[in-house]
Amino acid sequence: MPNPLLSFHDRWQPHTAAPNQTSTDDSSDDEADEQQKGWMRHLPLCFLITLIVVPQPSILIVLVNHYLRTLHAPITFLIHLCISYTLAFLSFSSLIVCVARDPGPVSVDKPTGVEDSGPGRGRDDLGLREALMVPLDVDDDGDDLFSPVKWCRKCWAPKPERTHHCSLCGRCVLKMDHHCPWLGSRCVGHRTYPSFFHFIASITLLSTHVAIFAGSAFWWSFNNPGLTLDETTPLHELFLLAVGAVFGIVMGSFTIYHMYLISTNQTTLESLSPFLLLRYLPPLPPTLRLSDLPLEHELSYNQRRLVRKAHSAVKLYDLGWRRNWAQVFGWSRPRGWIPCILYGGASQGNGRRFPRNPRAEHMLSKLADALATVDKDA
């Protein structure tokens, strides 16, 4: 029996060939390729874990041989030991959360009157039947869910505010920050961004601390060559100094950059993509012959330059640095600061709606007026 042209299953699946066709071999090859890609995408994560674990024996050797056996300073030894392994533990705890937690699922509430059509049917799934049978096309705030801003044509599902579709993961992510291959080829989103910042901040502090005490120990060994217990300890000190300095500079740069993003309430995508502002512009005059939501390639050179210049001034979600940090790391439960210290905690809100900068609408209106007149004035 030939396959139907349109099938109403729980999920909208692509047309598959009949069992008697030769596409079975092709599908098996595709599955093998997917398994290989799934295995290879964890290589950067394994390499990252290796970079964190490999210096640990050298840290213990330097602390024992230099501070405990040479300088006979047990208190200093215990302080550096506790700080080093506490920061290492915090780094691994937040890394595990980044890898294990979903960055931000875009779930859809089931329409009223639509029953589950199969076992295991969850509220995070939207099939073609439900998409065609949804009686209302507006959300609670009256916004059009099927507009280009609120509807993902690739996932065939609603697309909340600040949500982006990741082509590598093949899904939409709430408040997507970026796709990180070092986390097992996963995205950093609304639910994992606090843990991601916690991880890079912990690695920065650990690297800086290791570089400081290893550099101090190496300087002492360089000035007192005859007092060292063995010849290998200065090598471990030099190794830790180099590794700590490199990691401190690299990860410290990322940490400072994300501190700026948090203080201005931006994601990496929003910071690096100035033309995202076009999604939020008020209607432009029809004489410009642009789409309802203008695209970058439709703009002239002067208009593109104007959007790039406005991007540095228009911060759509900037509420002040205090409220911005509270939105990412705030808590409402008693002792909510404990998860923030252990693994970063979780961001406030559901990741779907965010309060906007009260000045943003006025600035966007000025940008729209400037786009309409910039070519006339040129």
Instruction: Give how far Cα 326 sits from Cα of 199, 270, 314, 318, 332, Å.
Output: 18, 19, 21, 12, 10
3-class SS of residue 188: strand
3-class SS of residue 164: strand
141 domain-assigned: no
CA atoms within 13 A on the CB side of 219: 7
Whole domain around residue 91: which residue ranges? 58-104+147-260
Q: Do β-strands 164-166 and 171-173 pair in parallel, antiparallel, or remain unpaired? A: antiparallel
Stated as kind and residue range, the H or E segment containing 43 is helix 43-53
Is the four-CA dihedral 176, 178, 183, 184 of positive or negative sign? positive
349 domain-assigned: no
Q: Is residue 270 exposed (0-12), middle (13-18) or buried (19+ Cβ within 10 Å)?
A: buried
**Per-residue pLDDT at 377 exceeds 90:** no
10 domain-assigned: no
Stated as kind and residue range, the H or E segment containing 203 is helix 193-223
201 domain-assigned: yes
343 domain-assigned: no
Arithmetic mean of pLDDT, 99-118: 65
Residue 315: count of CB within 10 angstroms of its CB: 19
Q: For residues 158 and 147, what is the distance between their CA atoms, to the nearest angstrom?
A: 9
Per-residue pLDDT at 40: 85
Please check whether residue 365 is in contact with residue 282, taking contact to mean a CB–CB distance below 8 angstroms: yes
Instruction: Give how far Cα 360 sits from Cα of 48, 311, 349, 355, 356, Å.
Output: 40, 11, 21, 11, 7
Higher pLDDT, 189 or 124: 189
Which of these, 187, 192, 147, lies nearest to 171 by C-alpha position? Answer: 187
Instruction: Report the mean per-residue pLDDT for the chain.
Output: 82
Select, from the ranges 32-46, 50-64, 295-309, the one with the highest average predicted confidence (pLDDT).
Answer: 50-64
Looking up tokens 């024992």, which residue turns up? 64
Q: For residues 178 and 264, what is the distance between their CA atoms, to the nearest angstrom?
A: 17
Please check whether residue 284 is in contact with residue 293, taking contact to mean a CB–CB distance below 8 angstroms: no
Per-residue DSSP letters for 245-273?
HHHHHHHHHHHHHHHHHHHHT--HHHHH-
> Residue 371 carries which side chain, given as an amino acid letter?
L
Per-residue pLDDT at 284: 84
Q: For residues 348 and 330, what is the distance between their CA atoms, to the nearest angstrom?
A: 6
**Which tens digit of pLDDT belongs to each residue from 144-175?**
444 445 788 888 888 898 999 999 998 999 99
Per-residue pLDDT at 108: 53
Q: For residues 195 and 93, what is the distance between their CA atoms, to the nearest angstrom?
A: 9
Q: What is the count of structural domains for the chain? A: 1
69 domain-assigned: yes
Please check whether residue 328 is in contact with residue 245, taking contact to mean a CB–CB distance below 8 angstroms: no
Q: For residues 155 and 138, what is the distance between their CA atoms, to the nearest angstrom?
A: 18
210 domain-assigned: yes
**Per-residue pLDDT at 28 exceeds 70:** no
Arithmetic mean of pLDDT, 63-75: 93
Instruction: Give how far Cα 135 sits from Cα of 118, 341, 343, Å.
Output: 22, 45, 42
Q: For residues 371 and 295, what is the distance between their CA atoms, to the nearest angstrom?
A: 13
Which of these, 129, 109, 122, lies nearest to 352 by C-alpha position? Answer: 109
**Per-residue pLDDT at 99 exceeds 60:** yes
**Per-residue pLDDT at 369 exceeds 60:** yes
203 domain-assigned: yes
**Per-residue pLDDT at 63 exceeds 50:** yes
